[in-house]
Amino acid sequence: MFVRKFKSWKMKNSQLFAEKIAIREKTKRNKRLVIAGLISSILYLIGILVTLGILSVKMNQNCLGHLKRAADASSIETADQELSIAIEYLEKEGLTKGYTSIFWQTPDEDIEFWYKNIKSAKEEIESLPKNSSPLEKSNMLIKLRETLLDHGDKGSESITCPDGLSRYPNNILFLILFLSSFGLIFFFTRKVIISSDIF
């Protein structure tokens, strides 16, 4: 009788021990999956940031950089050439109308106004007679510089440009991707903390 009870107790304990091991292994496996999800979410966010960086560099190389060179140009011919490159890129990429804003339209994010301003500045330069005096040419370059550049409070200068132009027309998509990446990171971080407490 005693032997039978001992065997029954031993078998029950063995089963409980096996279940505990199974639960522990399952917890470890789930924790590894959660950590993998967290790492993937972080890589996902990094990928979005890298893409945004590449788009920004592309915009600077093909458009904004040439507008800056046009603003800094010392001759009408050089300014006209740089403006032509920038305008050609804007027209090729379809950056001639629309708003870069997501929730509401504001004047500083109006692409069409900005594009027409650059276009009219180029037409004004081209309409300047070749036999114009140095003073007339100098005044035209000053006017062009005022058109293309924004002046900060501390004397800094930057190209006048709608915010988020490099992301247009995918501004909403990038916002969704950006927010979703933070949501995933928060979700998996919480799971890691919970699984650590359980473990």
* Distance of alpha carbon 145 from alpha carbon 143, whole angstroms: 5
Res 29 pLDDT > 90:
no
**Domain limits, the chain:** 54-168, 169-199
Structure tokens at 110: 């109006």
Distance between terminal CA atoms of the chain?
A: 39
6 pLDDT exceeds 50? no
User: Which pLDDT value is given to residue 199?
Assistant: 46
pTM of the model: 0.79
Q: Tell me the average pLDDT across 173-197.
A: 85
Cα distances from 48 to residues 38, 42, 102, 158, 173, in angstroms, run: 15, 10, 18, 25, 11
Q: What is the pLDDT of residues 120-167, one digit of tens each?
A: 999 999 998 888 899 999 999 999 999 999 877 676 788 999 999 999
